[in-house]
Amino acid sequence: GDSVTQMEGPVTLSEEAFLTINCTYTATGYPSLFWYVQYPGEGLQLLLKATKADDKGSNKGFEATYRKETTSFHLEKGSVQVSDSAVYFCALRDNNNDMRFGAGTRLTVKP
Amino acid sequence: EPEVTQTPSHQVTQMGQEVILRCVPISNHLYFYWYRQILGQKVEFLVSFYNNEISEKSEIFDDQFSVERPDGSNFTLKIRSTKLEDSAMYFCASHISWADTGNTIYFGEGSWLTVV
């Protein structure tokens, strides 16, 4: 079935460093792709999304581009802040409208 | 910003007891979901619900689980006889339309269940 694989964490960066969290997917159809973020003690929040190939989702300085040729949706941010420390989940929504999540990548940003 | 609300935020229950987790989806949404996240693990799909019936369920969603939409606003997850391994964060989610796969699924903040 459809699935998502994202890089294992934890990832530890210094403030203002460049962030990449890799995500690749396997799908039979044309899924929508999402990044969700879970801050400590909170629920899942949508960070950004892309619904078709070559779409770029962006929010709060984060970006991800839907790459059909490489089946990827890598999350990037040019300069991370301490407040970005959280767990990031890549997800796809399949043709049955069910969300499939990656395992999550914990990011810690140190001042 | 509309939101999905869940209660309780945290519940501790004894093994073998029944638990009901409650969710109020966004009012004009039509599709409802439960997911769970065991501590430190990935978010797992449990069940989807549309038009007053289950549309899909995972292998995790066995006979001890059930869902119900008892009125126009609530969507509940019942665990009949809890086991230690049911300890997890349970997320309710909803979205408006099946037709547009780009529509955002909104998640609640989760109900943390601890079975002792």
Reported as a single tens digit per residue, the pLDDT across B59-75 is 999 999 999 998 878 99
Q: How far is A16 from chain B (nearest CA, A)?
A: 27
- CB of A65 within 8 A of CB of A73? yes
Which of A18-22, A30-34, A47-51 has the highest average model confidence (pLDDT)?
A18-22
Extract the tokens encoding B35.
Answer: 């997911």
Residues from chain A contacting residue B55 (CB–CB below 8 Å): 96
| pLDDT tier at A73, thresholds 50, 70, 90 | very high
Q: How far is B115 from chain A (nearest CA, A)?
A: 19
3-state SS assignment for residue B104 = coil
Q: What percent of chain A stands above pLDDT 90?
A: 63
The answer to whether B106 faces chain A, any CB pair under 8 Å, is yes
Dihedral sign computed on CA atoms, order B43, B102, A87, A26: positive
Q: Which residue among B43, B55, B89 sits closest to A101, beta carbon to beta carbon?
A: B43
CB contact under 8 A, A99 and B45: yes
Interface test mutation site (partner A, options B43, B89, B107, max chain A beta carbons within 10 A): B43
Q: Which residues of A touch B (CB under 8 A)?
A: 30-32, 36, 42-46, 49, 51, 89, 91, 93, 95-104
Q: Do B62 and B9 meet the contact criterion of CB atoms below 8 Å apart? A: no
Closest CA to A93 of A25, A37, A48, A33: A33
Q: What is the pLDDT of residues A96-110, one digit of tens each?
A: 667 788 888 999 999
Those residues whose C-beta lies under 8 Å from the C-beta of residue A55, and which sit 6 or more positions away, are A65, A66
